[in-house]
Amino acid sequence: MGPPRRVTRGRPYDPRVSDAVVRFGLVGYGFGGRYFHAPLIAGAPGCALVGVVTRSPERRAEVAAEHPGVAVHDSVDALVAAGVDAVAVSTPAETHSAVTDELLRRGVPVVCDKPFALDADAARATVELAEREGVLVSPYQNRRWDSDLLTVRRVLDEGRLGEVRRFESAFERWAPDPAPPAAGGGLLRDFGSHLVDQALFLFGPVDRVYAETHEVGPEAEDDVRVLLHHTSGMSTHLSGAWRQGAPGPRFRVSGTAGSFVVTEPMDGQEAALVAGRTPAGEGDAWGEEPESAWGTLHLGDSDEVVASERGRWDQYYAQFAAAVRGEGPVPVDPWDAVATATVLDAARLSAAEGRTVDVAAVVR
């Protein structure tokens, strides 16, 4: 892919920011930009949030209140002209590809929120563009650093479940609105991007997909069920629901020697950020889960509560900044986003036609 480019167009570096610090811009200050990106960029070692693109007067006021001194711009052009080293894109899903591709053509490294693209063809085109231009790009799959997923990975590495045969994963919430917001690209693309990425991250490629969805409008599902058959022989069962009054267990991993179950519906880092807490403010306490949220290892007649790993969303931007400085790989390989989008394409086709779909059949 070649060495990463360091873009410093427009005004010179602020002398208060050392040359070792990667200057990030952020495009979009809705829920995702405000809570999942801005505080994590601003508090990450080796990173500085220097500019935000938003035209909304309300959001501009929020930036001023929450990140004093950070410039607010009306356009991507103005942000790039002001001087940035990298940009995070947190705009509505249907704009992700266009905004990311524009930045890559300008030589600016990009972090793109999920869904990385609306389909696999668009995801592949963006990754290939990044490779041709020699510019870094990475999908924002922050939930690889969820406390519960990190704990599942540790339990798997310890081998106490025996031969693992089934992985069950649910993102189920109760929301007052009858349908998820359209900006997420639909529930299958929105929640599904995380669910599928985590399954591929843990258990590798998928060769067959079966899906069922409950549609409440065009590209708007409020309930999805997806069954993945991995090439390794593993079976993954994924569930996403927007109006589920009794959310199911977050994870259940079953093997020949036992099962590991996490009943708490969601890692606590999102709630902490929405409440105004940050990794910078909490230090080593960030991402710690209360004992009530720990999972349980069931081994025949015995049960064992397993202490959770710390959630580490704080690591993503530090790793991306290191990649921009040429000190390591991006935190999530962009080709992983293509793999996730391909599985989601197969799931949409499966749900539409009511049949199992071979993933190879949707790869062009």
Judged on CB neighbours under 10 Å (0-12, 13-18, 19+), 334 is buried
Question: Counting every residue, how long is the chain?
Answer: 364
* Residue from 130, 101, 141 nearest 4 by CA: 130
Q: Which domains does the chain have, with CATH numbers?
A: 22-142+317-332 (3.40.50.720), 147-310+343-362 (3.30.360.10)
* Residue from 202, 234, 205, 240 nearest 351 by CA: 240
Residue 106 and residue 7 in contact, taking contact as beta carbons nearer than 8 Å:
yes
3-state SS of 260-298 is EEECCCCCCHHHHHHCCCCHHHHHHHCCCCCHHHCEEEE
Cβ neighbour number for residue 94 with a 10 Å cutoff:
14
Pair of tokens at residue 359: 């993933």
How far is Cα 317 from Cα 324, in angstroms, rounded to an integer?
A: 10
How far is Cα 33 from Cα 265, in angstroms, rounded to an integer?
A: 23
Backbone angles phi, psi at 254, to 5 degrees: -115, 135
pLDDT in tens, the chain (364 residues): 343 333 333 333 343 345 689 999 999 999 999 999 999 999 999 999 999 999 999 999 999 999 999 999 999 999 999 999 999 999 999 999 999 999 999 999 999 999 999 999 999 999 999 999 999 999 999 999 999 999 999 999 999 999 999 999 999 988 877 666 666 778 899 999 999 999 999 999 999 999 999 887 777 788 999 999 999 999 999 999 988 889 899 999 999 999 999 998 889 999 999 999 999 999 999 999 999 999 999 998 899 999 999 999 999 999 999 999 999 999 999 999 999 999 999 999 999 999 999 999 888 7
Sheet holding 71-73, edge to edge: 71-73, 47-53, 22-27, 86-89, 110-112, 137-139
